[in-house]
Structure 1
Amino acid sequence: MLELLFLLLPVAAAYGWFMGRNSLKHKELKGRANITRNLSSGLNFLLTDQEDKAIEQLLELLDIEAATIETYLALANLFRRKGDWDKAIRIHEKLHQLKLPKPQAQQIQFELAKDYFCAGLYDRAEKLLVSLVKSPKLADMALKQLFSIFVATHEWHKAATYQTAVDGTESRSLRIAMANMQVEASLQDENRQQLLLTLAEHYPAAIRPKFELAKQALAQQDITLAKSALLYIIEHKPQWSADLLPLLANCQLSDEEWYQLLSRLVNKQHNTSAVVLLGQWLAQHGSTAAAEQFLLDKLAASPSIRVFQQLLKVRQQHSAPAAEALSSVEELVNAYLAKKSLYSCRNCGFNTRNHYWLCPSCQQWETVEPIAGIDGR
């Protein structure tokens, strides 16, 4: 009898294990059925445009099942794109309360900060982003979002707080943004010229510190400094020649220096503004015939309305009988060009007749440049 008892013990243990396993499986299946039912109910609310009820139903699932975070993130992002920021905030706030792995928790924190930003809650967004600046994965995005807040609030001085963090990244756009915001903050600074010099040296990729430095130097009759700053920009960013050459014309360049500069821009960069100015120079220092032939050759190689406009002016000087007839043509050309955009954003394609250091469309710094092409400068 005792031996039979020992034989039955393994059977009893196996039976207990089997029943327990089935019980756990039954509970798991029951739990999944509840999740499926709640999820289906939530989706049904979404399909019938009852979004508030849908969110409440779906958020209840977060207490049961946290493995579907990506689904909730996608849903919240959908609401944010639609402009339903309050709904996106509710979802992201609920997700933010969960105990999740650090990378996932930080990503949710960043998304919540973006919600707050879109809703105009800049102080809340800033508080969330500050702690993400040290995140290896999210540092660049957090800094860009912080800078967007400073742009929206015009709190330019706050940018300098993150100079070390920006210098620690490899982002060229962040460095350019930092330089521009510090230039904005320096507008009322008594030591502005020294600050501009420092920014120009520290952020060589940024145009604005050197450009503002040159304008200030010209205003103070510091021709040497202005000339140096402008020539540096024109060497590294020749597409800005349309705005730089009129300033350089006030920097007392010799005739030979001016001719060499314009020739280099014409031959290497095919810059329209340089072609126009070189045509003027040839008409003044050579002959109108030489200037006319030069402009005709450039038009044959690359059609340009502005070069054609300059050709009309030269021909009016060269031929008095034709001046009256050509003046009416010039008026038509002037009227045509008066309606054309002068600048275009290389990032988003925004066109404008006015220059902006910050693109009004895509909010990127120093992407609005003089337009090239047949109507360009």
Structure 2
Amino acid sequence: MPELLFLLLPVAAAYGWFMGRNSLKTKELKGRADVTRNLSSGLNFLLTDQEDKAIEQLLELLDIEAATIDTYLALANLFRRKGDWDKAIKIHEKLHQLKLPKNKAQQIQFELAKDYFSAGLFDRAEYLLLPLTDNELLREAVLKQLFSIFLATHEPQKAVALQPAVEKTQSRSLRIMLANMQIQHLEKSQQLDLNRLQQLAEHFPQAIRPRVALARQALAEQQPAVAKAAILSVLKQRVQWAAELLPLLQQCQLDATEWQQLLSPLADKHNISACLLLTDHLAEHQSAAAAEQYLLPKLRQQPNIRLFQKLLQLRQQQSALAAEALISVEELVNAYLDSKALYSCRNCGFKTRQPYWLCPSCQQWETVEPIAGIDGR
């Protein structure tokens, strides 16, 4: 009899394992059924425009099934794009509470910070973003978001403190952003001086604003050679800035020959401002006829309203009879030009008559430039 009981032990163990396995399967199937039921219920709420109830229902699933995180991220981003920041925050906050791998957790933290920024909760967004500057994959996007916060809160000095993090990236746009924030900080603290501006101009060759500020400050401090070098450096990089910078270059105490030598290569590149100034130079130092002789081929090569306006002025200088006939034409041309934008953003196409270092439309730095073309400068 004892031997029989001994033989039944494996049978009992096998039976216990079999029943336990069936019990686990039953619980698993029940859990999946609950998930499916809650998911279906949440989707029904969404379809019937009961978004608050839908979110509550769907968030309950996070305690059961964390494998659908990407779905929740997509849903939260959809709410943020629609302007429903409170709903996006609710989802991202719930996701942020889960125990997830570090990279996924930091991605969710970044998304939550963007929700806070969109909702105007800048301090909360900054608190979440600052630790993420150590994340190599997110660093560039995080820094750009932080700079947007510092711009909105008028705290450029905080951007200056993040220069070491910016230097760890290869981003040209970040360096331009930082250079502009540095200038804003110097202006705000009234610390603009030639040494600081020269350091910025050398450290951020990608940016234009430090060199323009350097040129203006150098002229204010009676150092035309420094201003000239800064202006020519910008024009070599982006000739379209001639419309803004050539009037400054005129203040650099250049003699007539040097001024003509500087203008000629710019005019040969079909820069309208250089052509206009060179025409004035020829009219002053030679004659109106010589200036017109220079201007006519340029006008044929590159039709432009401003060049045409200059031609009208030259014709009026040469003949009193022509002046009387052309004055009404010039008034029409002036009225036309007064209605035209002077600057355009090369990134988004925003047009304006006022210069901006930061585009009001796309929020990109140094993309608003003097307009070229038939009514450009």
Shorter-chain TM-score tier? over 0.9
216-225 vs 324-333, greater mean Cα deviation: 216-225
Query: What one-letter code is carried by the residue in structure 2 that aligns with 1:176?
Result: I
Is 2:317 the counterpart of 1:324?
no
Cα offset, 1:191, TM superposition: 5.4
Q: Which residue of 1 aligns with 2:44?
A: 44
**What is the distance in 1 between the residues matched to 2:98 and 2:128?**
16
Query: What one-letter code is carried by the residue in structure 2 that aligns with 1:185?
Result: H
**Could you tell me whether the CA contact under 8 Å between 2:228 and 2:252 is conserved in 1?**
yes
After superposition, the C-alpha distances for 1:68-95 in whole angstroms (9 at most, x for unaligned) are 1111111111111111111111111000
**What is the distance in 2 between the residues matched to 1:287 and 1:6?**
125
Cα offset, 1:235, TM superposition: 1.2
Query: What one-letter code is carried by the residue in structure 1 that aligns with 2:77?
Result: N
After superposition, the C-alpha distances for 1:313-368 in whole angstroms (9 at most, x for unaligned) are 11111232111111111111110111111111111111110001111111111111
Query: What one-letter code is carried by the residue in structure 2 that aligns with 1:204?
Result: P
Query: What one-letter code is carried by the residue in structure 1 that aligns with 2:214?
Result: L
Q: Which residue of 2 aligns with 1:346?
A: 346
Cα offset, 1:194, TM superposition: 2.1
Q: Which residue of 2 aligns with 1:132?
A: 132
Query: What one-letter code is carried by the residue in structure 2 that aligns with 1:193?
Result: L
SS at match of 1:299: helix
**What is the distance in 1 between the residues matched to 2:178 and 2:24?**
58
**Could you tell me whether the CA contact under 8 Å between 2:42 and 2:57 is conserved in 1?**
yes
After superposition, the C-alpha distances for 1:101-152 in whole angstroms (9 at most, x for unaligned) are 1111001000110111111111111010000001011111111111001100
Q: Which residue of 2 aligns with 1:282?
A: 282
Query: What one-letter code is carried by the residue in structure 2 that aligns with 1:238?
Result: V
Q: Which residue of 2 aligns with 1:212?
A: 213
SS at match of 1:330: helix
Cα offset, 1:192, TM superposition: 2.9
Q: Which residue of 2 aligns with 1:236?
A: 237
- Listed as ranges, the matches of 1:38-77 within 5 Å are 38-77=38-77
**What is the distance in 2 between the residues matched to 1:5 and 1:325?**
127
Q: Which residue of 1 aligns with 2:170?
A: 170
Q: Which residue of 2 aligns with 1:253?
A: 254
SS at match of 2:258: helix
**What is the distance in 2 between the residues matched to 1:22 and 1:298?**
90
Is 2:106 the counterpart of 1:106?
yes
Q: Which residue of 2 aligns with 1:93?
A: 93
Cα offset, 1:7, TM superposition: 7.6
**What is the distance in 2 between the residues matched to 1:148 and 1:101?**
28
**Could you tell me whether the CA contact under 8 Å between 2:342 and 2:376 is conserved in 1?**
yes
Runs (4+) of structure 1 exceeding 4 A deviation are 1-19
**Could you tell me whether the CA contact under 8 Å between 2:292 and 2:314 is conserved in 1?**
yes
Q: Which residue of 1 aligns with 2:144?
A: 144
After superposition, the CA RMSD in angstroms is 1.8
After superposition, the C-alpha distances for 1:255-295 in whole angstroms (9 at most, x for unaligned) are 2221122111122x321111111222222223323322322
Query: What one-letter code is carried by the residue in structure 1 that aligns with 2:131?
Result: S
SS at match of 1:333: helix
**What is the distance in 1 between the residues matched to 2:312 and 2:362?**
38
Query: What one-letter code is carried by the residue in structure 2 that aligns with 1:192?
Result: D
SS at match of 2:66: coil
SS at match of 2:128: helix
SS at match of 2:135: coil
Cα offset, 1:18, TM superposition: 4.4
**What is the distance in 1 between the residues matched to 2:209 and 2:76?**
38
Q: Which residue of 2 aligns with 1:197?
A: 198
Cα offset, 1:19, TM superposition: 4.2
SS at match of 1:132: helix
**What is the distance in 1 between the residues matched to 2:16 and 2:297?**
98
**Could you tell me whether the CA contact under 8 Å between 2:193 and 2:217 is conserved in 1?**
no
SS at match of 2:162: helix
Unaligned runs of 5+ in 2: none
Cα offset, 1:16, TM superposition: 4.8
Q: TM-score, normalised by structure 2?
A: 0.95
SS at match of 2:369: strand
Cα offset, 1:9, TM superposition: 6.4
Question: How many equivalent pairs are there?
Answer: 376
**What is the distance in 2 between the residues matched to 1:368 and 1:10?**
83
